[in-house]
Amino acid sequence: MKLSSLFLTGLIGVSATAPAFAKVTAPQDARVFRLDGGGVTYALGVDDKGYLQPLYWGASLAAGDPLVSTDVVKTGDPVLIKAPGELSGFDPAGSVTLQEYPGQGEGLVNDPGIKTIFADGNRDLVLKYKSHRVQGETLLIELADIRRPLTVTLHYTVDPETGVLARSASVRNGDRRAVRVDQIASAVFTLPVGDDYRLHYLTGRHAAEWTKKDVAITPALTLLESRRGSTGHGNNPYFAIGREGITSEDAGPVWYGALAWSGSFRISVGQDNLGRIRVMGGYNPYDFSWSLKPGETLDTPVFYAGYSNGGMGGASRTFHRFQNAHILPGGERAKPRPVVYNSWEATAFDVTEAGQEALAEKAAKIGVERFVVDDGWFGARNSDKAGLGDWTVNRTKFPNGLKPLIDKVHSLGMDFGLWVEPEMVNVDSDLYRAHPDWVLNYPDRPRTEGRNQLVLNLARTDVRDHLLAVLDKLVSENDIAFLKWDYNRNWTEAGWPAVPVQDQQRVYVEYVRNLYHILSELRRRHPKLEIEGCSGGGGRVDLGILGFSDEVWPSDNTDPADRLMIQDGFTQAYPVSVMMAWVTDSPNWANTRATSLDYRFLSSMQGGLGIGANLDKWQAEDFTTAAKWVAAYKTIRQTVQRGQLYRIDPPTSDNASSATMYVGQDRRQGVMFQMLHSSMWRDNPVAQHPQGLDPAQTYAVRILGGGALPEGVPARASGAYWMQRGLRAPLKGDFVGTAFVFDAVK
């Protein structure tokens, strides 16, 4: 990420100018700091008592605009940033002073950025500005306690294209005795006083992830958190804040962000005692503490956040663009997701060389590009009760190893992938019998199993190194292009008895750090290897794991109607480019709903297309239908996966129809999907209006997959015409759909 322009000035309360992309040299007496990029300004400054205060976050300000706090006093020229005094005996100065990153001290009653206990029992921590510097493209501001040698360094970077901020914090103990850190945030964000803010977030459970919710922001704190050891299905570490009656899908201010962390997290949102809106996020303090040794530093995850004045749609498109460029492996040069076939629904654990080869032949006939063998290929894995942890090929199922199957898959024009779940172990496994101490556990306490498995303690370096070695060996000895990396339970008994008591709760951080280490090193050793992140569906999707994942599995629920809502929720926060969507069997396992193969394809084609159905049960007409849709998808894949997403008519539980639009970055192609859940009494549906096309460009329109245009729809017209007049798809019945493709006429 490049720093677009960062303004640091010695004039208190007044911004200075600097050329964009210029290397910044900050004067040492700077009292106001300003970061600009992508039409966004973020500013902060030091008040007259030495506190670092947030000053502004929103649409870009002019270079000469003053930057002051809401509490100011004129003492001539310039304007000082003034720390407020006591409001009453119930509101001391420490509780009303707006701080960029407050310590738990001096009467603070809001969520602190950091909470500590010193060796002598002191729990008061008051952080004030000490120094700053610019290191490359990052602004570093150091805060220090007023008495003790403990410092917190705040890190700031802004993307010049999108204005997305990257913020994190590092605490260092300069004392001769350990300091216990009980809570630490990556960042605290502040919005001005207001009673009309609404928080938008994503929640759910297994097979029902990505449900959109919004609530009024009030003094009653709203907590988005996971205590599960991983991101979890329940709350995603993402937020968006709009203003009631002002913010819509297409217009109005939105402040948004997501934490890049795949472990237990906590994001709090609420009004402080003066009505200002505060958002804080970082490690979850639940069951967490870190004994910070003398000279030691603890770093937080990065909290990414941005602003858009283009409504919820504009916010998500900007965030998608940022993630595609700066978070995902390969960045903007990453290749689109191939059409994949996965064998799970066809075979479950009954995996054999002959059976997989037969499925591969059928998958190749419909245009599949990647063949993935799911669970059951390794160890004594004939059910979910044994074998997990033993990552060696089952020689009964594959007498000559995986090579004959891989060669067969390659001969059919596909690459080869495998399912793995490296972080877990069955008690009935060679690994557990050899190393029962390698799992999360408390001595002399139960070891609770979930899905008949325990969680390996990746915080241990011996476990980390073992897993890296066996995975490296597996990929090195076989021509494997892809790993579907699964994680199918949450933590219980999160103990680490092998380390001193004061360090055992480090497990929540060290586990995730070592997970990232394994993924990073595996990709370094095998640069062509691609990885899918999965946790019973969407149980571990966040900006941390996305840094190592080419794609993710949003939900185990593959019902095409449910998936439209799941995919709509997912794309509020994360880009279509990583969102896999499978065509599976009907009736669907999740709800027994029966749908046509056409409808299932049209739903799944709105992400990275995959097929997980049992091809052994398909009829000839099913293969013909699938081949048609796979070929059609390949003509729009780049637009869907890497284009701009417009939610024209979002799917909801009480909406009979929905419409979603994808437009290529160069606006040469657009695709509008119209999906009907169920017919209503009215036979004359409303027109759906495309968005994002070039108004001056002429587009030819066609039906994806072939077919005649509806009566009255011209074969070509300008982008302005299509967006103003719209199109009506004469959809009738239940669970039907169509897609209009707009191709620019040369």
Active-site residues, by number, are 486, 556
- Spatial separation of the C-alpha atoms in residues 10 and 17, rounded to whole Å: 12
Q: For strand 277-283 and strand 222-226, is the pairing parallel, antiparallel, or unpaired?
A: unpaired
The answer to whether 653 and 211 have CB atoms below 8 angstroms apart is no
Nearest Cα to 26, choosing from 107, 137, 184?
137
CA–centroid distance for 15 within its chain: 34
- Let me know: does 740 contact 703? Beta carbons within 8 Å: yes
In terms of Cβ atoms closer than 10 Å to its own Cβ (0-12, 13-18, 19+), residue 444 is exposed
Quote the distance between the C-alpha of residue 432 and its chain's center: 33
Residues 6+ apart with CB under 8 A from 617: 585
Cα-Cα-Cα-Cα dihedral sign, residues 469, 473, 476, 482? negative
Contact 300, 282 (CB under 8 A): yes
Which helix (H) or strand (E) segment holds residue 129: the answer is strand 127-135
Distance CA 640, CA 633 (A): 9
Q: Which of 458, 443, 531 is nearest to 491 (CA)?
A: 458
CA distance 112 to 260: 20
DSSP per residue, 679-701? --S-SSPPPB---S--TTSEEEE
- Would residue 571 be called left, alpha or beta, if left means φ above 0 and alpha means ψ between -120 and 50 degrees? alpha
Give the up-direction half-sphere exposure of residue 58: CA atoms within 13 A in the CB hemisphere: 14
Separation between Cα atoms, residue 56 and residue 191, nearest integer Å? 8
Q: Give the separation between CA 420 and CA 403, rounded to whole angstroms.
A: 17
Neighbours of 462 (CB within 10 A): 12
Whether residue 587 has a cis bond before it, omega within 30° of 0? yes
Q: Which residues of 166-198 are buried (b: 16+ CB within 10 A; e: fewer)?
A: bbbbbbbbebeebbbbbbbbbbbbbbeeeeebb
